[in-house]
Amino acid sequence: MKKVGVAILGLGVVGGGTYKILKEHRELYQKSHKIDIVVEAVLERDIEKAVALGVEREKVAANIQEICSNPDVDIVVEVMGGVEPAKTFVLDCLHAGKSVVTSNKELFCKYNHELEVAAKKNHCGLFYEASCVGGVPVIRALLDNLQGNKILSMIGIINGTTNYILTKMSAEGVSYQEVLKEAQKLGYAEANPTADVEGYDAAYKLSILSSLAFHTKIPFSKIYREGITEISVTDIEYGKKFGYVLKLLATGKNGDNGIEVRVHPAFIKNSHPLASVNDSYNAVYITGDCVEDVMLYGRGAGALPTGSAIVGDIIYCATHSNYQYSTFKNTAEASPSTKFIENFESAYYIRLNAADKPGVLAKVSSVFSKCGISVAQMSQEGQTGEDGCVPLIFITHTTRENNVKKAVSLIDASEDIAKVAAVIRVVE
């Protein structure tokens, strides 16, 4: 039987889950794949943590060089997170001829071009299924099964922490800070949860997924990004009255006029398939020109779901030798011929705190009309407050982002009319 030696760098949530799966399923893989996967080494600062998981003390390496020079290690699993020292360690391993499996989306998004060069040069595999959407096999689907298509669009709920938070805010009416602590306890959040709640994590993943889907490098810097920290329960509740659910969406579109890539909170109709993706579940809704709509759904975070993706990559690596790399010229920057659309189209939910006096609605309508915004629905909510203002909510027809920005600045400048309290994009 072929023996496959694995080293794990970092025994945290994902590393611990991976170790557990490999240990408990060793016989299964012996039977199903005729391979004996053995964890030969781990790199972990806290030796007792490794020992508590069942790792023999002598398998805890003192440094990365011990792993690089260990002839029993074939595949290195990087699950430490962050850019450094992860990047140096991964490059060291690739240069030592070890294949690498990683769940590190920040590292992969920012440096996949460098890592790929090292992997190709040293004839090593470089696998990253776990970097995007946890246990959901979206990378392999894009790299293999959907290759026959021109991918037209991809809309995803690709961050488990924010989906967990928004689900709880919607169901229980609690603020995002309160739920964040729960998401951290469950192991969904990044070491620095700002990456989750400000949309960086989703943007790293969208950069990786859209590069694969659109066969051109989409650097992180090209992705419009907004997080959920400004979202209030008030807007989630108002949105429900219009039949909407609020989600942090990652959107990639590849149209005739160019590519648009953005991460931001958005209202979607509660009849949309993505509307029922709750808690730490994630989903990616892909539209290809031949296959039409495909939705991949599952746990986007957590020890065992993410470990499942890592182990899938380990088995794939151990049973294949013709390693596959990007299906585009993988460079640090986008190709000069790739056009990006920043002034994208969308419908909008706009909440105003408007003075409750005659003529206000006419003035707001005049601003919208001047900015090329047409209103689809309007509603006055609640009673006039002590400040003499009342919440007015508008749902617009599809318009351009810059039209809305202009309208917001005009309304905010006319203090006696109204203040813009919230602007949320709407997927119709």
Give the x/- contact pattern for ligand HSE in 199-218, rule: CB under 6 A.
--x-----------------
The site partner of 347 among ligand NDP, ligand HSE, none (C-beta below 5 to 8 Å per kind) is none
- The entry of ligand NDP, ligand HSE, none near residue 81 (CB within 5 to 8 angstroms by kind) is ligand NDP
Q: Which does 142 bind (CB under 5 to 8 A by kind): ligand HSE, ligand NDP, none?
A: none
Contacting residue, 127, 188, 281, 349, with ligand HSE by CB under 6 A: 188
Whole-angstrom Cα distance, residue 5 to residue 12? 20
Q: Write the DSSP assignment of 18-55 as a string of letters.
A: HHHHHHHTHHHHHHHHSEEEEEEEEE-S-HHHHHHHT-
Of 10, 15, 160, 312, the residue at the interface with ligand HSE (CB under 6 A) is 160
Q: Tell me: does residue 189 bind ligand HSE (CB under 6 A).
A: yes
Is there a cis peptide before residue 85, judged by omega within 30 degrees of 0? yes
Nearer to ligand HSE, 18 or 159 (CB): 159
Told to check if 249 binds ligand HSE by CB under 6 A, we report: no
| CA gap 85, 421 in Å, rounded | 43
Q: How many CB atoms lie within 10 A of CB 93?
A: 26
Residue partners of 415: CB distance under 8 A and separation at least 6: none
347 near ligand HSE (CB under 6 A): no
**How many angstroms separate the CA atoms of 88 and 9, rounded?**
12
Cβ closer to ligand NDP: 125 or 193? 193
161 binds, among ligand NDP, ligand HSE, none (CB under 5 to 8 A by kind): ligand HSE
Residue type, 240: K
**Cα–Cα distance, 414 to 299 (Å, whole number):** 46
Q: Which does 196 bind (CB under 5 to 8 A by kind): ligand NDP, ligand HSE, none?
A: ligand HSE
CB nearer to ligand HSE: pick between 169 and 301? 301
Query: Which part of the chain contacts ligand HSE (CB under 6 A), choosing from 139-147, 159-167, 262-270, 406-414?
Result: 159-167
Rounded to whole angstroms, the Cα distance separating 388 from 270 reads 33
12 binds, among ligand HSE, ligand NDP, none (CB under 5 to 8 A by kind): ligand NDP
**Which of ligand NDP, ligand HSE, none does 159 bind, CB closer than 5 to 8 A by kind?**
ligand HSE
Q: Does position 196 bind ligand HSE by CB under 6 A?
A: yes
Structure tokens belonging to residue 104? 């590190």
The residue within the footprint of ligand HSE, chosen from 156, 239, 252, 300 (CB under 6 A), is 300
49-70 per-residue burial string, b: 16 or more CB within 10 A, e: under 16: bbeebebeeebbbeebeebbeb
Per partner kind, with CB cut-offs from 5 to 8 A, the member of ligand NDP, ligand HSE, none near residue 18 is none
**Shortest Å, Cβ 225 to ligand NDP:** 16
Closest CA to 44 of 106, 87, 89, 4: 89
Q: How far is the CB of 164 from ligand NDP (least distance, A)?
A: 11
In angstroms, give the least distance from the CB of 287 to ligand HSE: 23
Decide if 269 contacts 275 (C-beta within 8 A).
Answer: yes
CB of 129 or CB of 190, closer to ligand HSE: 190
161 binds ligand HSE (CB under 6 A): yes
Tell me which residues in 123-152 interact with ligand HSE (CB under 6 A).
Answer: 134
Q: Which residues participate in catalysis according to the annotation? A: 205
Distance in angstroms (rounded) separating the CA atoms of residues 250 and 232:
20
User: What does the binding site for ligand NDP look like in residue numbers (CB under 6 A)?
Assistant: 10-15, 43-46, 79-81, 85, 103-105, 130, 134, 187-188, 190-191, 301-302, 306
Nearest CA-CA partner of 389 in 424, 350, 420: 420
**Closest distance between ligand NDP and the C-beta of residue 365, in Å?**
46
Question: How distant, in Å, are the alpha carbons of 118, 173, 205, 287 from that of 294?
Answer: 34, 32, 18, 6
Kindly tell me which of 79 and 249 has the beta carbon lying closer to ligand NDP: 79
Any contact of residue 301 with ligand HSE (CB under 6 A)? yes
CB contact at 8 A, 296 and 139: no
Nearest-angstrom CA–CA distance, 207 and 168: 27
Distances (CA, A) of 69 to 15, 47, 83, 102: 21, 20, 23, 20
In sequence order, what DSSP letters do the residues of 379-391 get, joined into one string? EE-S---TTSEEE
Shortest gap between Cβ of 297 and ligand NDP (angstroms)?
16
**Residues in touch with ligand HSE (CB under 6 A):** 134, 159-161, 188-190, 196, 201, 300-301
